[in-house]
Amino acid sequence: MADILTSDLTTGTDSLTGDGVFDELMRAFEAHIHREFSERRIIGSEYTQVYLGGMQSAMQTAVTFLLGKQNADKQADMSAAQALLLLQKVETEKAQTEDTVLAGAVVGAVGNQNAVLAAQTTAFTRDAEQKTLKILADSYAVRRSTNSAEIVPPGLDNADISLVSQKAAAGIGVVLDIGV
């Protein structure tokens, strides 16, 4: 937003050649008052009164116009800033639920928080695998220690325990070569 300059109001020359807002209004006013004077609708002291009134009105209108324009420029700047802020808020909200936003990968505090949540999810999965393996290993240990000849229920035989062991090991990046 630019400040209002005196040259925006008037260039300080006569209104016939100036290019300020006041100069332009005075050119229009002078054309009208000259016609009225030439056609003898305004005569004598009336001309002076009308001219002074018109000049004051033109000056007031020019100043009001420039202040209104400056205010409109301020509002446009504010609107642009608010639009940018709103776009940033949209991206921040997207970062809460997506891995990438317009700028690329989600980083910073939200990215770190998302990484922690992903690590926790992985940890819960690994924990569930380890607990399942422990239950199966304990079942195997009890069966071995009792040398039970009973029928092993589905999911608790040696082949199933081997599969769960491989899955749990793969979850932590270890490859088991368990022959079944």
Sign of the four-CA dihedral 175, 176, 177, 180 = negative
- Radius of gyration over every alpha carbon of the chain, rounded to an integer in angstroms: 43
Examine the domain organization and report whether 116 and 77 are in the same domain: no
48-78 pLDDT, tens digit each: 999 999 999 999 999 999 999 999 889 998 9
Examine the domain organization and report whether 86 and 125 are in the same domain: no
pLDDT attached to residue 32: 93
CA 121 to chain centre: 29
Does residue 177 sit within a domain? no
pLDDT profile of the chain (180 residues), mean per 10: 80 77 92 92 90 93 92 90 90 78 76 86 87 81 72 74 83 73
Does residue 1 sit within a domain? no
Examine the domain organization and report whether 132 and 92 are in the same domain: no
User: Following DSSP, what letter does each residue of 70-85 receive, concatenated?
Assistant: HHHHHHHHHHHHHHHH
| Domain, as residue range, for 114 | 107-171
Helix H or strand E segment including 49: helix 45-97
Does residue 19 sit within a domain? yes
81-97 pLDDT, tens digit each: 999 999 888 888 877 77
